């Protein structure tokens, strides 16, 4: 069901000088990979590039055997790639149910009712809010709606841009637990995170970007124990 | 009481219906394509003259020729979008707004060129009104306009809330970037926006001309109250625009009723200023409109 994501020599930007240069990373099927780095390192640009929202000047993005560079953004959902932007990630005037339904339009799942049931079992909090406009929900609930929408197309790969940004500690923990639940369903996750320690604790692999380039990569455990990474991103304390 | 119903309430609801049908298109185009479509009134005019053209070939009740007018306005709207608005889509919206002014002039000039600039009536003669409860004398046209608009409102609500295309349209109006990230077919959404907006403009044009007469400035003269209705309902909220149309229409017509004393509250000659005053008031105090639409 899932396929390997392989990024090689990726250079991209927004029309001007490149924001990310010569990026290489691989995400194995069914694993969680996290991209870390200081502000302005190009983490979100990397996700946007995979989702065809920037201008690629070199490199390739392979999902399985399929080349994603050159695809239109709207064509990626039918290819099995879903994305959850960091902010403005729900349709505010539409109900939670309608937001989830929109997730099926580009790539209708084989059994919509079963997919909806599976998504709602991941986010039981949403069951009581189905008829409420998504714009009236809290930040954490909106994040769940956004993730739910992304999962409604039965994707192979989900891209998450800072899913815990601005959330309370309670929701932060909840979202990380949810990511582990989503991984259990076999979906590959590539996410950008600011909460480096928690992200590395649940991630299979981590990739650190600095100034738009690869700086370090390894398993979550390796990076948590790496002196350099601890000093730069984890406040120096042991994990 | 009967004077109020016969001479104010039903005419007000009729004007409201015309504004409502026109305002839906303006609101949807603003919500989805992000620009004020100043040619919308003239699209209505084009529909009206489409009926006149069809009536020359097929002398039946003009309302039966509305589908022909709808086909004409839909074709015209899709044509101008493809060749005039779409090439400007990536530029600041002011280019498209100015372009729509140009298109308005083109539509009006075409109408004048083909049909002349004098007033023309769609139905000659006086039609007897319908007498209800031996008291109320209601024009059949007024009833037709109000009932048609009510049916359209129900159908439009169903379309927007229960169909995939309708929900996609609301999603694009809410957040076009997220709609694209969600893989929605934005080109299809744009196409349906024009189809619905233009079809309703043709119906509005038909009722407007039947209510008075057809002339090249028919739609242009209705543009201001229709914009006021769209803003009142909340930009990007078609059902809000419907409600806004009725409110503006009622406010305009009922402003000249003798609410206090024997004279009209506001002289009928200042009737059109009512929409203008409401629009200015809204832009200052509640720019998001009654239904929390997009901020202008």
Q: Of B174, B179, B184, which is closest to A92 when you measure between CB atoms? A: B174
Tell me which chain B residues have a C-beta less than 8 angstroms from the C-beta of A93. Answer: 170, 173-174, 292
Classify the C-alpha dihedral B248-B250-B254-B256 as positive or negative: positive
User: For the purposes of burial, counting CB atoms within 10 Å of the CB of A103, is it exposed (0-12), middle (13-18) or buried (19 or more)?
Assistant: buried
Closest-approach residue (CA) in chain B for A107: B183
CA A24/CA A154 separation, integer angstroms: 26
User: What global pTM score does this model have?
Assistant: 0.88
CB A133 within 8 A of CB A88: no
Reading the block at residue B122, the tokens are 């769609």
Helix, strand, or coil (residue B10): helix
CA B291/CA B243 separation, integer angstroms: 10
Task: For chain B, 296 residues long, give each residue's pLDDT as a single digit of tens.
Answer: 677 767 778 889 999 999 999 999 999 999 999 999 999 999 999 999 999 999 888 888 888 999 999 999 999 999 999 999 999 998 999 999 999 999 999 999 999 999 988 888 877 766 777 777 777 777 888 999 999 999 999 999 999 999 999 999 999 999 999 999 999 999 999 999 999 999 999 999 999 999 888 899 999 999 999 999 999 888 888 999 999 999 999 888 887 777 777 777 777 777 778 878 887 887 788 777 777 666 55
For A23, phi then psi, to 5°, come to -80, 135
Helix segments in chain A, DSSP class H: 43-50, 73-76, 96-102, 112-122, 139-151, 169-184, 196-202, 220-225, 227-233
Q: A98 to each of A102, A149, A206, B166, how far by Cα in Å?
A: 6, 9, 34, 11
CB contact under 8 A, B167 and A102: yes
Reading the block at residue B288, the tokens are 């998001």
CB contact under 8 A, B184 and A94: no
Q: Of A74, A93, A94, which is closest to B183 when you measure between CB atoms? A: A74
CB A54 within 8 A of CB A45: yes
* DSSP summary character for residue B120: B
Q: Of A88, A93, A149, which is closest to B182 when you measure between CB atoms? A: A149
CB A106 within 8 A of CB B181: no
Q: A239 to each of A33, A224, A236, B64, B148, how far by Cα in Å?
A: 18, 6, 9, 77, 69
Reading the block at residue B34, the tokens are 């992000």
Q: How near does any CA of chain A get to the CA of B31, in Å? A: 13
Bridge-based pairing state of the strands A188-192 and A157-161? parallel
Give the gyration radius of chain B's Cα atoms. 19
CA B153/CA A212 separation, integer angstroms: 52
Nearest residue to B177 via CA among A54, A158, A85, A78: A85
Closest-approach residue (CA) in chain B for A79: B183
Bridge-based pairing state of the strands A213-219 and A55-63? unpaired
Per-residue confidence (pLDDT) for residue B290, from 0 to 100: 74
Across the A/B interface, how many CB contacts are shorter than 8 Å?
65
CA A139/CA A121 separation, integer angstroms: 20
Task: For chain A, 239 residues long, give each residue's pLDDT as a single digit of tens.
Answer: 568 899 999 999 998 899 999 999 999 998 999 999 888 899 999 999 999 999 999 999 999 889 999 899 989 999 999 999 988 999 999 999 999 999 999 998 889 999 999 999 999 989 999 999 999 999 889 999 999 999 999 999 999 999 988 888 888 888 899 899 899 888 999 999 988 888 999 999 999 999 999 888 889 888 888 888 888 777 655 44
Nearest residue to A164 via CA among A133, A187, A192: A192
CB contact under 8 A, B181 and A92: no
CB contact under 8 A, A106 and B185: yes
CA A35/CA A30 separation, integer angstroms: 16
The alpha carbon of residue B94 and the mean position of all alpha carbons in its chain are separated, in whole angstroms, by 22
Q: How near does any CA of chain A get to the CA of B174, in Å? A: 6
Nearest residue to A217 via CA among A24, A16, A9: A24
């Amino acid at each position: 069901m899932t396929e390997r994501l392989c990024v090689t020599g990726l250079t991209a930007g927004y029309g001007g000088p490149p924001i990310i240069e010569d990026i290489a990373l691989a995400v194995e099927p069914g694993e969680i990979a996290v991209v870390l780095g200081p502000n302005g390192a190009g983490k979100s640009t990397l996700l946007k590039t995979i989702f065809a929202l920037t201008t690629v000047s070199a490199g390739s993005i392979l999902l399985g055997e399929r080349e994603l560079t050159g695809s239109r953004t709207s064509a990626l959902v039918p290819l099995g790639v879903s994305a959850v932007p960091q902010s403005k990630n729900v349709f505010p005037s539409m109900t939670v149910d309608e937001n989830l339904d929109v997730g099926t339009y580009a790539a209708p799942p084989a059994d919509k009712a079963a997919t909806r049931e599976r998504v709602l079992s991941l986010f039981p909090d949403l069951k009581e809010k189905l008829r409420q406009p998504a714009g009236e929900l809290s930040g954490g609930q909106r994040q769940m709606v956004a993730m739910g929408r992304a999962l409604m197309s039965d994707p192979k790969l989900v891209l998450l841009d800072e899913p815990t940004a601005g959330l309370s500690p309670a929701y932060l923990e909840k979202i990380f637990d949810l990511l582990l639940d989503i991984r259990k369903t076999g979906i590959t996750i590539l996410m950008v995170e600011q909460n480096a320690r928690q992200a590395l604790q649940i991630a299979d692999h981590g990739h650190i970007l600095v100034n738009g380039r690869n700086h370090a990569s390894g398993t979550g455990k390796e990076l948590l124990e790496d002196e350099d990474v601890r000093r730069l991103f984890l406040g120096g304390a042991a994990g | 009481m009967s004077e109020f119903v016969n001479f104010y309430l039903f005419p007000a609801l009729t004007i409201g219906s015309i504004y409502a049908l026109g305002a839906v298109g303006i609101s949807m185009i603003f919500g989805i394509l992000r620009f004020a479509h100043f040619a919308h009134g003239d699209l209505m005019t084009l529909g009206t003259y489409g009926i006149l053209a069809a009536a020359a070939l097929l002398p039946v009740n003009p309302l039966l020729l509305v589908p022909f007018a709808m086909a004409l306005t839909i074709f015209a709207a899709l044509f101008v979008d493809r060749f005039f608005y779409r090439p400007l889509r990536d530029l600041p919206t002011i280019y498209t707004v100015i372009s729509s002014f140009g298109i308005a002039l083109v539509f009006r000039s075409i109408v004048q060129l083909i049909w002349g600039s004098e007033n023309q009536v769609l139905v000659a003669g006086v039609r007897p009104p319908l007498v209800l409860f031996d008291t109320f004398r209601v024009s059949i046209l007024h009833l037709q306009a109000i009932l048609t608009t009510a049916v359209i409102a129900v159908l439009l609500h169903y379309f927007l809330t229960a169909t995939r295309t309708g929900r996609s349209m609301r999603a694009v109006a809410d957040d076009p970037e997220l709609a694209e990230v969600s893989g929605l077919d934005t080109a299809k959404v744009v196409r349906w926006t024009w189809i619905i907006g233009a079809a309703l403009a043709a119906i509005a044009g038909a009722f407007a001309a039947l209510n008075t007469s057809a002339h090249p400035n028919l739609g242009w003269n209705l543009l201001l109250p229709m914009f006021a209705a769209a803003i009142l309902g909340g930009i990007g909220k078609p059902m809000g625009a419907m409600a806004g149309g009725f409110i503006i229409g009622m406010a305009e017509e009922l402003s000249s009723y003798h609410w206090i004393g024997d004279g009209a509250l506001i002289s009928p000659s200042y009737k059109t200023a009512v929409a203008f005053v409401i629009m200015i008031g809204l832009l200052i105090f509640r720019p998001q409109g009654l239904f929390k639409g997009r901020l202008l």
